[in-house]
Every structure is written in C-alpha cells, then in structure tokens.
Amino acid sequence: MNKDNAIGFGIGLVTGVAIGAVLALLFAPKSGKETRQAIKDKTGEVVDALKGKTEGAIDLVKDAGSEASRKGQAALHAIKN
C-alpha cells in the first residue's frame, strides 16, 4: 500500500467512525440535552484525532518533498558533471 492510499484509508476510517458514533448517539435512548452533550464531546475527540492525522500527513508530504528535492539536486549535479 503506498502512502497516498494509506492516508486516504486513514481519513476514511476516521470519518466512518465519527459518522457511526454520531448515529449511535442520535439513536440512543437519552434525553436531548444528554445527546447534545455527548455529540459535542465526541466531536471534540474526532477533531483532535483528525488534527493528529493531518499533522502526520503533512509530515509525510514534507518528507517526500525533501526527498524529491534532494534527488533532483543530485541528478542536476550529475548532469552538470
């Protein structure tokens, strides 16, 4: 599995979990106030998880860009010599 597929899978997985959690909360036998609080709490957890995944994806992109730049400079240097 390449990095793009792994990132896409991770985002899809987190999104699916979030949607499932919200649906479970909406259909649970609780009062409206309790349900709204539970959704608020779960939303905060999902947002934090997505921030962590996004930061990881950004790091992967930066690393890939640095590697591509390094290889490009090495190729340019080889061509000049």
Rounded CA gap, 14 and 12, in Å?
A: 6
Alpha-carbon distance 12 to 22, whole Å? 15
pLDDT(19) > 60: yes
Q: Which amino acid is at 4?
A: D
Residue 36, pLDDT > 60, answer yes
What is the pLDDT at residue 18? 81
For 60-69, the pLDDT digits (tens) are 778 888 888 8
Mean pLDDT value across the chain: 79
